[in-house]
Amino acid sequence: MISLAAIGALALTGCGTDVDDITVGPGTGWPTAHHDGRNGATSPVTGSRKVALNWSRPIGGPIEQAVTVGSDGQLFLTARTPSGCGIFSFQMRTGRKRFCNQLGPNAASAPSVVDGVDNVYVGDDGAVNAFNYLGQPRWRTPVAGVPVSMQFTGDGGLLSITQSGQVDVLSRQTGERVVPTVQLLGEPDFLDYPNLTRPASGQGLDHCATGGPQCAVANISAMDEATGRFFVTVWKPGAPTAALVALRYGDNKIEQQWRADILTEGSATSPTLSADSATVYVGDNSKRLIALDAADGRTKWVRGLEWVPRGGISVSDDGLIIPSGDSGYLLALRDTGSTAEIVWERKDLALRGAPVQTAGGIGYTAAAIGAGLSLITFDTETGTTVDSDVLPDAKGSTTGTSIGAKGEVVLATRIGELFVFKPEQ
């Protein structure tokens, strides 16, 4: 696989100013797939000990990414549907569809991110797109590949990384590139390859779900907004292992700071930063959870698991680590500095999605109960189940768990149904 240089076309821009007065950041919604820039998968909202299904609805096609939630409760998700609708938006309270917009067929592989006034940013085949809360287009910027990682930067920009390794920071107002594009696989040599052509935008996407070798970047980057340092999993063609790479956005450029070639059989999770951004956690396909020093990439510890920790890692402000994984069970660990100790484990609860933590010591996850799926509410201190609610007729697994500003719990199944639970106490 050979990476290509960024397309030199100018972004198609809409009306706007150069002054960025739109807030970004996690707030009390769920604006990114793992809630915030560090991919912490935790919410400052106090979780309810009892929830009830408010509504559910089919989307009409498979869903691959977690649902994002604006601060006022507007929901956003990407899907692959026969109608061509690639991004949907729904109202939290009623489930009423606000809009669905047609995008390229691989938009389902692209996570969405939402800013403080519900502008939504999402990738598709060969571009990053911006829409306002009504679904009206704001701008579209060409990129090489499909953006599988989207985050906000500390200065309010939009960090986009495609599965082929193209890194851009874009203005949220205009879509223009604010620093030169970086290619994580290196720039192509057109002297050695004079007949080089651009690969299909979706090339390698089928390997991204499992961190396979044909997908250079398979996960959502973790961003330290205070320093501009961000962390990306990268598998270069022909390399025996994938790597965790630290880069820094600042001083009008993006530069690599360190690289750790440690992800045996490829990456399994998005990297997650500790609350103090001193440690970065990541999982690989050899069933390992790894902690590294965020400053220099030094390995702090490696913890073997009984399953591949697929998807994400929930890390609370006080350091409780709960990995995801459709083949695993609910498990909580604590970082002691030199190892990760088991706090509690629930081998009776088979995970079917991503556990998340909330304020008040409450967590939520989808689990296989009987022949179907249930939303499990659990005590994060003990792992004890405090509530269990069936996802009617749900099968398979979920793409993630999202928390709304009022404590709502939102899940989507991979086969294409959306569920919203409301707090009762």
Q: What is the CATH number of the domain that holds 50?
A: 2.130.10.10
pTM of the model: 0.92
Q: Residue 24: what pLDDT? A: 78
In a domain, 260, yes or no: no
Give strand pairing partners of 281: 272, 291
In a domain, 107, yes or no: no
Q: Which residues contact 328 (CB under 8 A, 6 or more apart)?
A: 305, 306, 307, 308, 309, 310, 350, 351
- Give φ, ψ of 108 to 5 degrees: -60, -25
In a domain, 335, yes or no: yes
Q: Which residue has the tokens 């397309």?
A: 7
In a structure prediction context, what are the per-residue pLDDT tens digits for the chain, which is 425 residues long?
334 333 333 333 344 444 445 677 666 899 999 999 999 999 999 999 999 999 999 999 999 999 999 999 999 999 999 999 999 999 999 999 999 999 999 999 999 999 999 999 999 999 999 999 999 999 999 999 999 999 999 999 999 999 999 999 999 999 999 999 999 998 765 555 555 556 788 999 999 999 999 999 999 999 999 999 999 999 999 999 999 999 999 999 999 999 999 999 999 999 999 999 999 999 999 999 999 999 999 999 999 999 999 999 999 999 999 999 999 999 999 999 999 999 999 999 999 999 999 999 999 999 999 999 999 999 999 999 999 999 999 999 999 999 999 999 999 999 999 999 999 96
In a domain, 346, yes or no: yes
Q: Residue 17: what pLDDT? A: 44
In angstroms, the Cα distances linking 126 to 161, 174, 204, 335 are 11, 17, 14, 40
Q: Which residues constitute the domain of residue 408?
A: 46-63+314-425
In a domain, 292, yes or no: no
In a domain, 366, yes or no: yes
Number of domains in the chain: 1
Give strand pairing partners of 101: 87
238 class by beta-carbon count within 10 Å (0-12 exposed, 13-18 middle, 19+ buried): exposed
In a domain, 364, yes or no: yes
Give strand pairing partners of 149: 161
In a domain, 266, yes or no: no
Q: Residue 7: what pLDDT? A: 35
Question: Which DSSP string do the residues of 26-69 spell out, in sequence order?
Answer: -TTSB-STTSSTT---EEEEEPPS-EEEEEEEE-SS---SPPEE
